[in-house]
Amino acid sequence: MRSAHTVEQVRAAEADLMARVPEGTLMQRAATGLAVAISNFLGGTYGARVVLLIGSGDNGGDALYAGARLARRGAQVTAVLLSDKAHRAGAEALRTAGGRLVTSTPLTGPSADPSATADPSATTAPTAVADLIRSADVVVDGIVGIGGRPGLRPKALAVVQLAERFGVPIVAVDTPSGVDVDTGETPEPHVNAALTITFGTHKICHFIDPAATACGPVHLIDIGLDLPPAEVESLQTSDIARLYPVPHGESDKYSRGVLGLMVGSTQYPGAAVIATSGALGGPVGMVRYVGPDAVAEAVRAAHPEIVAGEGRVQAWAIGSGLGDELDIPRIRELLDAEEPVVLDADGLKALDDSGDHFDVLATPHAGELARLLDVDRATVEAERLKHARLAAERYDVTVLLKGSTTVIASPDGQVRVNTNATPWLATAGAGDVLAGLCGSLLAAGLTPLDAGSVGAYLHAAAANLASSSGPITAMSVAAALPEATRYLLGG
C-alpha cells in the first residue's frame, strides 16, 4: 500500500526526527537519494549537463547538495538562483564541488550583478540562462517545497517556461512547484515534471489529478520518518489480492454471492449486456437480471447463465442505461433495504441526503457528481478530492469518482485512489462494466470501500490487458477481467 500524508503530518514527523538526529541529517539523506535518482534518470552522471532551479528554503537546499554530489561525479552543474534567500550552505557545497551559481535575470545575455543575491559566490553567467537551459540534459525543480502555495512567481515561471519550450525534462524535488500539495489541485501555473523524487512519504498531490499528472512517475526515498495513519491511500497489487473474495472448497453459487442487476432499458439495451458482462467477470456466483422482457432476452442471448426475474440477492447494481425507464421510488426502496447497492449513471438521480446510505457505492463521473452537488463539471475536475469527499459526507455513501485517477471516498473520511488506468479506458460503456464488477464484489461480501477499490483496480488492469496500447471497447474490457484476476491471484 502506498500512503499519502498531509503537509502538516510530514512537517510534524520531520520535526520529531530532526530533534533526535544530528543537524542536517535529513537534508543529507534527501540529497543523497535525489542525486542517485537524477543519475539513474540520466543514465549516468559524467558529462551530464544539469541545471538546478533554486528557490528559498530547504527544498532548494536539497537540490543544491544533490547538485554538489553530481558535480563531484563529473556532471556540469549550474544552479540558477531565483531567490535572494537561497540555502547558503548548499550553495557553498555546490561551488566547492565545482558547480556554478548564477542569478536568474535577465533571461538573455549576461546574468545580473552577483550582489543581487545573498550568496556572494554567485557569479555573472558567461552564458545566458536561456542558453544554459537550452543545452541542459535535465532541469531540477528546487523552487518551492511542500509548504509552497499554488502558482509560480513571475521569475520562476519564466525559467520553467524556458525548459518547457526547449523540451528539457524537469525532475521535481518532493513535488512539482506550483501545485496544491494537500489537494492535488492546480489552479495556477506550475511545473510539469518528467519525474518527481519525494522523501519520507507520498504527498496527496502525487495521487490526485490534475496534480498527479504534473508529477509524472514518483520515486519515494525513505528518510526515516515516523508517520501517523495516512489521509489518502493507494492500494497495490498485493493489497487487492488480499481483499479479493476467492471461493473455497465448500463454496456454492449462493455462498459466492447473488447479484441483482437493475440496468439497461428498451432505450439502452446494450447497457444491460455490458453491465452483466462486468458482473460475470467478478467473483459472484449468480446474477439475476430485473428489467424489461426484451432486454432480458438480449442479456440471456449474450449470457445464457443469467437468471431473469425477481429473487433473493446479496447486493444490487442499479442505474446503468435506465434512461426513461428510471423508477426513482423503486430504487429508493432498494436503497433503504438491507442489501448493499452500487448506484451508477441514471440511478444516481435517486440519491437524496435524507437517509442512511452507508452501504451504497455511488460511481459517478465528473459530470454526474457535478449534478449531485449543483456545481460545474469543470469545478469537480479541478477539485476532485474535495468534491468526492463532499458528496460522500452529504449523501452518506461511498463515492467512486471515475477518472484517470479514480478517487474513492467513504463517509467516514477514508480515501483511496486508483492510479493504474490507461487513457484508452475512456470509452462508451466502460462505466457499465465497472458498475457490474463492483456489484459482483459487493455481493461476494466486500464493503463498498473495498468493492470500489478492488473494482477500480481490476477494471483498469483489464483495460491495460485489452488495449496493448491501442483502442478498446467496453466488452473487450469485460472479457479481459478473468485474465486480469488470474494475474492478480498469481495464476
59 is in an annotated binding site: yes
H/E element holding 123?
A: none
396 is in an annotated binding site: no
State the DSSP code for 79: E
404 is in an annotated binding site: yes
264 is in an annotated binding site: no
The number of C-alpha atoms within 13 Å of 173 and in the hemisphere containing its C-beta is 33
282 is in an annotated binding site: no
365 is in an annotated binding site: yes
Distance (Å, whole) CA 364 – CA 410: 14
Distance (Å, whole) CA 252 – CA 285: 7
406 is in an annotated binding site: yes
Distance (Å, whole) CA 194 – CA 171: 6
84 is in an annotated binding site: no
147 is in an annotated binding site: yes
Contacts of 356 (CB under 8 A, 6+ apart): 396
3-class secondary-structure state, position 277:
helix
**Amino acid residing at 249:** G
187 is in an annotated binding site: no
Q: Which residues pair with 315 in a beta bridge?
A: 259
Q: C-alpha angle 140/144/145, rounded to 5°? A: 100
148 is in an annotated binding site: yes
182 is in an annotated binding site: no
281 is in an annotated binding site: no
61 is in an annotated binding site: yes
Are 53 and 73 a contacting pair, CB within 8 Å?
no
448 is in an annotated binding site: no
88 is in an annotated binding site: no
455 is in an annotated binding site: no
271 is in an annotated binding site: yes
143 is in an annotated binding site: no
Question: What is the number of other CB atoms lying within 10 angstroms of the CB of residue 263?
Answer: 36
184 is in an annotated binding site: no
158 is in an annotated binding site: no
Render 420-485 in DSSP notation, one character per residue: ---GGG-STTHHHHHHHHHHHHHHTT--HHHHHHHHHHHHHHHHHHHHTTS---HHHHHHHHHHHH
Distance (Å, whole) CA 412 – CA 390: 11
Distance (Å, whole) CA 179 – CA 149: 7
62 is in an annotated binding site: yes
State the DSSP code for 112: P
Closest CA to 361 of 303, 317, 297, 304: 317
Cell of 313: 440477492
189 is in an annotated binding site: no
Distance (Å, whole) CA 397 – CA 234: 20
Region of residue 284 (left: phi > 0; alpha: psi -120 to 50; beta: else): beta
Phi/psi at 305 (5° precision): -75, -10
Q: Which contacts of 104-111 are long-range, i.e. CB under 8 A and separated by 24 or more positions?
A: 104/80, 104/129, 104/155, 104/156, 104/158, 104/159, 105/129, 105/155, 107/158, 107/159, 107/162
Residue ranges at the known binding site for (6S)-NADPHX: 58-62, 145-151, 174, 271, 321, 365, 432
Residue ranges at the known binding site: 58-62, 141, 145-151, 174, 177, 271, 321, 365, 402-406, 431-432
Residue ranges at the known binding site for AMP: 402-406, 431
Residue ranges at the known binding site for K(+): 59, 141, 177
